[in-house]
Amino acid sequence: MADMGDGPTELEALFREVGSPIYRRCLKILRRPADAADATQEVFVRLLKHQDRLPPAPERLRFAYAVATRICLNRLRDSAWETPANEAGPQGEDLLASPQPGMEWVADRQLAARVLSSFDEETRAIAWLVLVDGHTQEEAGSLLDLSRKTVGKKLNAFLDGSKRLLSKEVA
């Protein structure tokens, strides 16, 4: 990506084009504005590092969206393992974003992190896109550059594996 003289660089143009949707994506997954801003910044650092591999303009949002999803899921997984057991739980606006006020959210978050961490990054992204975001398998495949059949197989493997892991947790 070369600088275009006194005008904006391609990366600046990319940020103007996809910055807002990427931030909203990160906010939806991470639920905290500060965490979403940090993750959005990390997305653009990665895009800058690998600017030679950026797809053509029509596909950049999809590419950046997939990068953001992976970064946010990794942050969720990592932060769940770091959550102290005596943490008081969500506060302020985070309490409104939390589906379960109280201490249960810590255990649920840690359980979800254990289940998610037992799968590869691609499978985690598929599960999130389909099960949490409500995308169809075709849409998830398009976002991750995979076939619908691959998405279906990985999603089934995730569901089966999750059931086995959760049944061990409950038993």
Say if domain 118-171 classifies as CATH 1.10.10.10: yes
**CA 124 – CA 137 distance, rounded (Å):** 14
CATH architecture of 1-82: Orthogonal Bundle (1.10)
Which pLDDT tens digits describe the chain residue by residue (171 residues)?
Answer: 444 444 457 667 777 888 888 898 898 888 889 999 999 999 988 888 887 787 877 777 888 888 898 899 888 877 765 544 444 444 444 434 444 455 565 666 677 777 878 888 889 888 888 887 788 898 888 888 889 999 999 999 999 998 888 887 665
Number of Cα atoms under 13 Å in the Cβ half of residue 113 = 17
Q: Which of 91, 96, 14 is nearest to 55 (CA)?
A: 14
Residues whose CB falls within 8 Å of the CB of residue 82, separated by 6 or more in sequence, listed in order: none
For the chain, which residues make up each domain, given as ranges? 1-82, 118-171
| CA pair distance 101, 104, nearest whole angstrom | 7
